[in-house]
Structure 1
Amino acid sequence: MRLRQMAVAFLFNEAQDVLFLQKKKGSRFLAGHLVPVGGHIEDGEYSDPRIACLREVTEETGLTGQDIGGLTLRYIINRLKAGQEIRIQYIFMGNVAPGSRLVPGEEGELLWLEAGRAGGMQATASTRAVLQHYLETGIHNNHIYTGTMHSQQGDPAVSWSVLEDWEEY
């Protein structure tokens, strides 16, 4: 079984819109879909997915760490894909500084969209679920949430938990 790890960011502007990448129609992966900026974790980045997230954000948007405030790990999503691959997605939330200039990469078009409209987007189930959970729950605290993707009556669903430590006695 394969293991695939990714790091992505939901980046907000001062109007509380969120930045999405609309993948090109001919893309090999998620063609035409709206996705948060980010991508696969590379060798040397596994112990710090924030580094991978910043690298991917810069590649896809031209934004650097100086353009992004409060980039914080807030979600970890786990999914078994077709019984062949375990996917782990590290999801960061951050704010783009006013006046920052976007420089689109080669993967698609960058779009600012109203965060509350996630339900009607052509996006993955995990993208919609994270954004909905964040707007309803996560925005009100600083927890890191873990989510496990599963099927609920044939539809994709996520079971959420707060990632927390405890002391063993």
Structure 2
Amino acid sequence: MFRTRMIATAMLFNGNDLLMMKRSPQRTLNPGMWAAVGGHLEPEELNDPRAACLREIYEETGLREDEIIDLRLRYILIRANRQELRQQFVYSGYTARRDTIQTDEGVLHWIPRTEALQREIPFIFHRLLEHYLQNGPAPHIWVGTAGFTDTAQPTVHWTALCDPGAV
């Protein structure tokens, strides 16, 4: 039986830099690794992951909604991890503000796009960031499911999310 974990994440850019957090070694999930800002959806946010994303951005960076430009859902990641099914909503946006607050969750850094993939990043976020940096923002949402290649190597399978009824 699977438990579920729903997460909202933001890839925030300023110019050519991506805001990343070096997670605290005391964190339960991915301690000491690099990630985007974000966190778990609260019960009242289950039907509004964007609200959860904005809340997490504010809690972890101090950036307000009116300081973020073009915040859009870009990816939905789905992964089984032990007895847990994880669904992650990933948004991207831009901000002109570079100053951020610091929290006990980790230390924030503006990382040049060309250096972001050189950090120690959780597998599925590494694949997402790789995909985003190669393809850029799409007019549709990408769904990524964690799986394996034919040679049993871990991978993420990408599918464009579409509404067949809208055609």
Query: TM-score by structure 2 length?
Result: 0.92
Correspondence for 1:5? 6
Correspondence for 1:53? 53
* Identical counterparts, % of pairs: 37
**Do 1:118 and 1:128's aligned partners in 2 also have CA atoms closer than 8 Å?**
no
- 1:128, distance to aligned residue in structure 2 (A): 1.1
- 1:27, distance to aligned residue in structure 2 (A): 2.0
Correspondence for 1:35? 35
Correspondence for 1:20? 20
Query: Does 1:81 pair with 2:81?
Result: yes
Gaps of 5+ in 1: none
Separation of aligned partners in 1, 2:88 and 2:66: 24
Correspondence for 1:150? 147
Q: 3-state DSSP class of the match of 1:120?
A: coil
Give the aligned CA root-mean-square deviation in angstroms.
1.7
Q: Could you say if the C-alpha distance between residues 117 and 154 of structure 1 is closer, same or farther in structure 2, counting changes exceeding 3 Å?
A: farther
Q: Could you say if the C-alpha distance between residues 78 and 101 of structure 1 is closer, same or farther in structure 2, counting changes exceeding 3 Å?
A: same
**Do 2:73 and 2:90's aligned partners in 1 also have CA atoms closer than 8 Å?**
yes
**Do 2:18 and 2:116's aligned partners in 1 also have CA atoms closer than 8 Å?**
no
Separation of aligned partners in 2, 1:102 and 1:128: 23
Q: Could you say if the C-alpha distance between residues 154 and 118 of structure 1 is closer, same or farther in structure 2, counting changes exceeding 3 Å?
A: farther
Q: Give the AA of the match of 2:145.
A: T
Tell me how many residue pairs correspond in the alignment: 165
Separation of aligned partners in 2, 1:24 and 1:120: 18
Gaps of 5+ in 2: none
